Amino acid sequence: MAPGRQTGFAAGKIPPETLLRAVYSRIGKRDKRVLVGPGIGRDSAVVKQNGTVLVFTADPITGTPSHIGQHSVEVNANDIATTGARPKWYLCTILLPVGTRENSLKGITREIHETAKRLGITVIGGHTEATRGIDRPIISGFMVGETRGRVLSAENGRPGDRILLTKTAGLEGTAILARDRAIPLKKKGVPEGLLKLARGYQEQISVVGEALLTAKLKGVHALHDPTEGGVLNGLWEMAEASGLGIEVWAEKIPVAPATQVICLTLGLDPLKLMSSGTLLLAVERSKLSMVQRALLNTPSRLTEVGKLTSRSKGRVLVRQGRRQVLRAVSQDELYKLA
């Protein structure tokens, strides 16, 4: 690239190298009460305040125009719970296209209310407006949690840790595609029954229960919920945050049949598809059976999909017997269809 010449960002997360150059070095005044600040793989900030640890996160919903109220509460709650803190308070900014009717706003706030109530979260404020320049509702959520116990972070993984994955890859993206791309999928032969099943994955997006349960277990060093870029990006983020290498076994990552059909039909990689609802755990090898027993009575399927290694061994994806470099996913599969 010629000096001074830059390309524009594609839809989705800003590339990690850009975040390091343009974002993470610009954080205002330093405060010694901040235990975890911004960084790659760090979805929440942690602040010590008068004997209590407060956890903060912020996440927008931009990949779909439907069910954004539910998505916003659950995605933000997931980030809080993966630190071991309990999600407590939620705020959001709701931006609506000019001309939006009141019933549409009621639909969004009804989902926020019902989801927050189910997860034991209190909605404490926010901002709502109709604004020019957008063609669909956008919601940006902010959540606070608290704990008096230990705080987990994606950066706490250790060499030798095994990586466990709950549920299946691409749950959130599958539900979104089954809703927002239903007509073209039907035209390509995907039956309505399968699309209905896939839309039901929306109800599996929360990982609060399994995160709070496993965060208390000895030998669980780090938790992370993969979102944009799917399971592969989440695994790369865990390694990057911990400053470690990683070996990932692609064939062991479970993919639900509906996800496989939809991704095959649209030419997408399910391992790079938005994956809220999946939880990644870095677990001491000797504690694997204990963690598996702890989750035995939950609905969460649990699969060993890789291991953390020393940084010198690199980041490796083993797929169909071939070893290749595991890199950050540049763009979620969902946005390739936009």
Q: Is the pLDDT of residue 2 over 60?
A: no
Q: Is the pLDDT of residue 338 over 80?
A: no
Q: Work out the mean pLDDT of the chain and round it to a whole number.
A: 93
CATH class, 154-337 region: alpha beta
- Give the chain's end-to-end CA distance (angstroms, integer): 26
Asked if residue 121 lies in contact with residue 88, where contact means CB atoms within 8 angstroms, the answer is yes
CATH 3.30.1330.10 residue ranges of the chain are 31-147
What pLDDT score was predicted for residue 148?
Answer: 87
Q: pLDDT tens for residues 273-317? A: 999 999 999 999 999 999 999 988 777 789 999 999 999 999 999
CATH 3.90.650.10 residue ranges of the chain are 154-337
Buried/exposed code over 22-39 (b: 16+ C-beta within 10 A; e: otherwise): eeeeeeeeeeeeeebeeb
- DSSP sequence for 208-237: HHHHHHHTTSTTEEEEE---TTHHHHHHHH
d(CA 65, CA 154): 30
pTM metric for this prediction: 0.92
Q: pLDDT tens for residues 55-68? A: 999 999 988 889 99
Q: Is the pLDDT of residue 42 over 90?
A: no
Q: Which CATH superfamily hosts domain 31-147? A: PurM-like, N-terminal domain (3.30.1330.10)
Q: pLDDT tens for residues 182-204? A: 999 999 999 999 999 999 999 99
d(CA 199, CA 43): 26
Report the pLDDT averaged over residues 107-121: 98
What pLDDT score was predicted for residue 40?
Answer: 86
Q: For strand 245-249 and strand 315-319, is the pairing parallel, antiparallel, or unpaired? A: parallel
Task: State the virtual CA torsion across 47, 50, 52, 55 in degrees, nearest 10.
Answer: -20
